[in-house]
Copies of this chain bind each other. A is one copy, B any other.
Amino acid sequence: MSSAEGFVERLVTPAIGEEIFALAAEIFPICRSITGDGVRRTLAHLRRHAALEVREVASGASVFDWTVPDEWNLHEAYIADAQGRRVIDARVCNLHVMSYSEPVRTRLPLAELKRHVHSLPDQPTLVPYRTSYYQRGWAFCMAHEQLAALPEGEYEAVIDATLAPGRLTWGELLIPGREPDEVLLSTHICHPSLANDNCSGLALLTHLARRLATAKPRLSYRILMAPGTIGAIAWLAQAGPGVQRIKHGLVLSCVGDGGGPAYKRSRRGNALVDRAMAHVLGKGWPDPVLLDFSPYGYDERQFCSPGFDLPVGMFQRGQFGKFPEYHTSADNLAFIAPEHLEASYRTIVSALDVLERDRRLVSTNPFCEPQLGRRGLYAGIGGDKNAPSLNMAMLWTLNLADGAHSLLDMAERSGHPFGEIAAAAERLERAGLLVPAA
């Protein structure tokens, strides 16, 4: 009884969770930062699945209030003891070096070294993730219990990195639909080996883009994978007035863990994407979290800045900053799972389905109910255990088909899932009882 046109049926494939997980695992080891080869290499992996364009802007370029920073590339980083044994090595775990550390090669006593080491006394077995993009310096990150156990003595600290004019890189893909209105789907590409934040988002969005590209959607979809903050700002700076084609948007953050899900509304608070996500979460999850917009989080901060005020919300599972694995070495491949990735994917696709299919219809028989029985509209679903619900969905759709209510309005008012209302509307349209509103 479900609609042949539904996105869920067309875009959710049986092994989708496994496929997303495999791609996340593939890009997990790469050392990414907000610039550098790590981003380029990651995009090369993703381009095997979706035709992302690689776009760049030079260091020093002005992007609104900001300047594109120098490009950072890490070749090697380690701490070695007096015997030359490597205590930590970025080859083992790229979190060990603070992102954007300046090059250094020095010998120094333990006490002095400790001033350049970040650790987590409350999570003593985990390596923290630290960055210093806009303040020069160098530092290492290591497990607190390892740091505490280091014997006194002299150590060698080596960060072989380049921090010099270069380029900032992002991936972008426009999937044209039948209409020019765009849906922006964005995730950041700047974190090193963190699985949930945000290999999960990159992998999910790549597989979604791949399927959208062949789905002949009504709306156009703009896929964006840009480094956090500066990348989104650089993209917006070059996007020009075309940004106004964005009619709906979602930022994807941590989508592979078993938490939440949580949806953070756009600054507007009641945009169609906000209502679609609230509806889909309310129907599909036992205890979803709906958060009002706040100007802190991922790149929805930029898309929702007052000059743009784009209708862009943010979807995540566990809320960033709130799960203990966040920004530590515990955010690894064991922390994400195919079933969570699939559930996130399915939820996003369900919301896109609302955006795709929401529309206004008018009844061709607005005076009294039309007689459904003689058209076989009751009988045709007699053997279906969902028949009472589908019958009610038809009655609701006919009753509210006054041109003022969209299908999502009907779903919200009636309590029926959007998919049931949309299926009822298509059935009634085929029977000539509904026509598109003028």
A residues touching B (Cβ–Cβ < 8 Å)?
63-66, 134-135, 229, 232-233, 236-237, 267, 292, 294-296, 301-302, 304-309, 363, 365-371, 373-374, 392, 395-396, 398-402, 413-414
B302–A369 CB distance below 8 A? yes
How many copies of this chain are found per oligomer?
3
Considering the complex, give the chain B residue whose CB is closest to the CB of A394: B295
Q: Is the interface of A mostly helix, strand, loop or mixed?
A: loop
* Sampled A-B contacts (10; CB under 8 Å): A65-B368, A65-B369, A229-B369, A236-B367, A295-B392, A301-B395, A305-B366, A305-B399, A306-B366, A306-B401
Instruction: Give Cα A292–Cα B412 distance, bound, in whole angstroms.
Output: 13
Partner of A395, one of B64, B296, B400: B296
A366–B307 CB distance below 8 A? yes
Residues from chain B with a CB closer than 8 A to the CB of A292 are: 413
Partner of A65, one of B267, B371, B402: B371
Instruction: Give Cα A392–Cα B368 distance, bound, in whole angstroms.
Output: 46
Instruction: Give Cα A399–Cα B293 distance, bound, in whole angstroms.
Output: 11
A295–B398 CB distance below 8 A? yes
Considering the complex, give the chain B residue whose CB is closest to the CB of A403: B306
CB distance from A328 to the nearest CB of B (A): 20
B134–A414 CB distance below 8 A? no
CB distance from A310 to the nearest CB of B (A): 11
CB distance from A61 to the nearest CB of B (A): 14
A400–B368 CB distance below 8 A? no
Residues from chain B with a CB closer than 8 A to the CB of A365 are: 64-65
Considering the complex, give the chain B residue whose CB is closest to the CB of A307: B366
Considering the complex, give the chain B residue whose CB is closest to the CB of A135: B373
CB distance from A3 to the nearest CB of B (A): 21
Considering the complex, give the chain B residue whose CB is closest to the CB of A304: B399
User: In the complex, given contacts A296-B392, A305-B368, what are 16 additional A-B residue pairs having Cβ atoms less than 8 angstroms apart?
Assistant: A63-B368, A65-B365, A65-B368, A66-B371, A134-B373, A229-B369, A233-B368, A237-B367, A237-B368, A267-B399, A294-B414, A302-B369, A305-B367, A305-B369, A306-B400, A306-B402
Considering the complex, give the chain B residue whose CB is closest to the CB of A395: B295
